[in-house]
Amino acid sequence: MDKQQAKKRVDELRELLNQANKAYYQEAQPFISDKQFDEYLAELEQLEEQFDLVEPTSPTQRVGGEPSSDFETVEHPIPLLSLDNTYNEEELNDFDRRVREILGHDDFTYMIELKFDGAAIRLRYEDGDLVLGATRGDGERGDDITRNVKTIKDIPLHLNNDYPDVAEVRGEAYMEREAFIRMNEHREEQGLNAFANPRNSTAGSLKMQDPREVARRPIRFFSFDLINNSDEKDITQYQKMQMLSKLGLPVCEHYKECSAISEVHAKITEWEELRHDLPFETDGVVIKVNQTKFRKQLGATSKAPRWAIAYKFEAEQATTTIQGITLQVGRLGKITPVAELKAVELAGTTVKRASLHNEDEIHRKDIRVGDRVVVEKAGEIIPQVISVVNPDRDNRSPRFEMPDHCPACSEELVKLGDDVDWRCINPECPPQIRQRIEHFASRDAMDIEGLGEAVVDQLVTEGLINTYADLYELKKAQLILLDRMAGKSAQNLLDAIESSKKQPLDRVIYAMGIRFVGKTVARDLAHGFQTMDALIEATKEEIEEIESIGPKIAESVVRWFGQEHNQEIVDSLREHGLTFSIEEKEQASQKLEDKKFVLTGSLPSFTRKEATELIEKHGGTTTSSVSGNTDYLLAGESPGSKYDKAKELNIPILDEISFLELIGENN
């Protein structure tokens, strides 16, 4: 390769890596694996050095992505460097050799910690108070996400014990596996796209503009470094971890001092097995020279310290054969293609099926029946097909094409708007019927105990119910004929169904299963319209006036109530006495009569629901958005854009204390 050829390849690699950095750090949608990225980066570094092509703007000289333009940019007083990666024992031994050569002795130890697969965060505390939360950004500058960081319950707003005047904390935001799965299930219920893995979800959540939405995401936090104004130079990384814990910051329990690199190797082997039992995602371990006094001598490159390195676990993959492609019908009619696999062991479980997401994804990867494919657990959670092993082989099966009709009911499939998914919109489609009834009975909806998947399946199969409204027509004589349904269990189920009639209006709206209407939207709709009839009669424009609701949701609500089949269900629910209005509560006083309140932020002593009940108890009302008709804004910790709008409109802003004084309940 001559210099001209090298320059061409260098330009190709820089463009690819810059796109990958943007996708990973800013868009939280990576399109190549970490290992592929590192291999391309290593190739680029080698070519730049060999042919003298190094440039300051090259990905080899940078940490990650540019800060987002959506947030204020902050300078990092000490750069947040990334870490060099290694994937085998030999490379780790080379790191150990370099450390010894630079220091000229072996009078040091190592500290080994789990490496979390999340998003790096910098916190700054002054006089013990949290004053800043920022992303890593490009290492020199990051995004100010303080308001979002304050919604993460793991992160203390004030430090414990003898805190320094200024404390800089480094850590990682992450999501636990089970919480991530539940969040994705909830998103799919609302017709939203599922996140690929916990890391993408965490990174994307931290960049959201509305802290209220961030607060609804199950984000956790671990701290792993502490920098303060102390002159103490002889501190160890191990002692820093203990100090972080004493200050009230969460620290992962899995860290260990190692006297030699051989002990590090042994711990890596142990933790590579341990990772499958952890509730959160880890993609490797971090090895640091334990004594911080040696960090200056060891120094750093432009992008990574020489006193630390990351050992990355291999992503667990397996090769198997696609035996067929089947279609799943979701509760809202979404058709999901699924690869039926020859059983293979992967990450401690037997994998027989993997989601293929949608038709476009299948075509992009050119996946066909009979192909040998590489399967990986995305974030060790969701099996997915990564690639086809032998795409050029002869006699491959024909390209997959989505059928025109639903596999369950033969209704014609459609795409709604710009949706990439095909859907069945037949309200009588059997799989949808079952899933809609299960959703209706779920804990967050009508909370009908005893009405699980197996019972619902029996009720639908035996023709006892066709919609969830039919639940209220069931008789004991019908139930006791079902398998494993004795007299007592039948009566318990009937009692639970009867009890569900007392659920409030917002739960009824959520239980109906309207696309895009989750629990929060259902609460806002109930509160905004007060009665089911008012909601049914509302126009798209009237629904959009509720602050949290946009055109897509409003259109879905109007469409749902406009369908004759759904109107019949609503009429049936009304006849059976379900709650169709927000109940008027007995008032304690008229001190807030005709006063309209808007709530924002987190109050010290009350939940949002409790504060609303207090306002209504004294004759006031609450609305979702600030306008010229708003009388007061009740603001707690981390107020959102409502606070700014209230100031702009000169609307009185109350904290919790002044609010309690206003209603005479300050004692």
Residues labelled as active-site residues: 115
> What is the full DSSP assignment across 24-78?
IIISS---S-HHHHHHHHHHHHHHHHHTT---TTSGGG--SPPPPTTS-EEE-SS
H/E stretch holding 100 reads: helix 89-103
Count of beta carbons in the 10 Å neighbourhood of residue 482 = 18
Task: Say if residues 645 and 619 touch (Cβ distance below 8 Å).
Answer: no
The whole-angstrom separation of Cα 476 and Cα 490 is: 6
H/E stretch holding 309 reads: strand 308-312
Task: Say if residues 189 and 518 touch (Cβ distance below 8 Å).
Answer: yes
Integer CA distances (angstroms), 88 to 33, 99, 268, 576, 615, in order: 17, 17, 11, 66, 62
The whole-angstrom separation of Cα 465 and Cα 475 is: 11
Query: Which single residue is written with the structure tokens 């169904």?
Result: 497
Task: Read off the DSSP letter of residue 176.
Answer: B
Give which of 514, 497, 520, 517 is closest to 569, Cα–Cα.
Answer: 514
The whole-angstrom separation of Cα 247 and Cα 455 is: 51
Provide the angle, in degrees to the nearest 10, between the axes of the packed helices 34-50 and 3-21: 150
User: 15: helix, coil or strand?
Assistant: helix
Integer CA distances (angstroms), 71 to 42, 147, 527, 651, in order: 32, 11, 32, 26
User: 580: helix, coil or strand?
Assistant: coil
Task: Say if residues 304 and 84 touch (Cβ distance below 8 Å).
Answer: yes
User: 18: helix, coil or strand?
Assistant: helix
**What are 595's two structure tokens?**
């006063």
Give which of 81, 202, 65, 213 is closest to 143, Cα–Cα.
Answer: 65
H/E stretch holding 289 reads: strand 282-289
